[in-house]
Amino acid sequence: MLTSHELFGFMSPALASEIVAFIHETDKPSYKAALKAIGDARHLRLVFLERQPRTQQHAMILSTLTKPNSELLAGSVLRQWLVKKHSAMLVDFLNALGIPHKDGVVDDLPPTMDDAKLKAAVDVLVAKYPPEVVAVYLNAFNDMNEANWENLKVILENDKRLQLGNQA
């Protein structure tokens, strides 16, 4: 199971760039927080970073999101991207598991999940969505939630469709 900053390190550069671009377009406060974190880490003023070309800003953000000390920021960026861009996938997963939710967001998860039900829900997602996006979501889901299902960890470690870094 991967943490948020590790997910950014293992996902394809194309997906990582897509996430940062999405945050820039849809969530200016999170994007600015990412730039501020870079400035704090590199002892640079925010205004200096804001004057850099967008491609350079994105590259600096992506580089920062892979660092262990950026775990909170990486988690926040992933959550925003998943909830805002991929809410249909979150809803499909939770519906397949029979977990009550509000637009893909859950207050309380069961402490465990039936193996067959979980495998079927994962199969639904992989059939409907890009495997790399599914892998990022499921890793983030298991890492960011208190339930932390062991059987989901096993699926993520063993299902070849969900291996980050092997995506074409």
Complete DSSP assignment for 141-159: HHHHSSS--HHHHHHHHH-
Q: Which amino acid is at 113?
A: M
Torsion angle (degrees, nearest 10) of CA 71, 73, 75, 80: -170
Domain boundaries, the chain: 4-85, 87-159
The pLDDT tens digits along the chain (168 residues) read 789 999 999 999 999 999 999 999 998 988 998 899 888 888 989 999 999 999 999 999 999 899 998 899 899 999 999 999 999 999 999 999 999 998 888 888 898 999 999 999 999 999 999 999 999 999 999 888 777 899 999 999 999 999 987 544
Which tokens sit at 19? 């996430």
pLDDT in tens, 125-147: 999 999 999 999 999 998 887 77
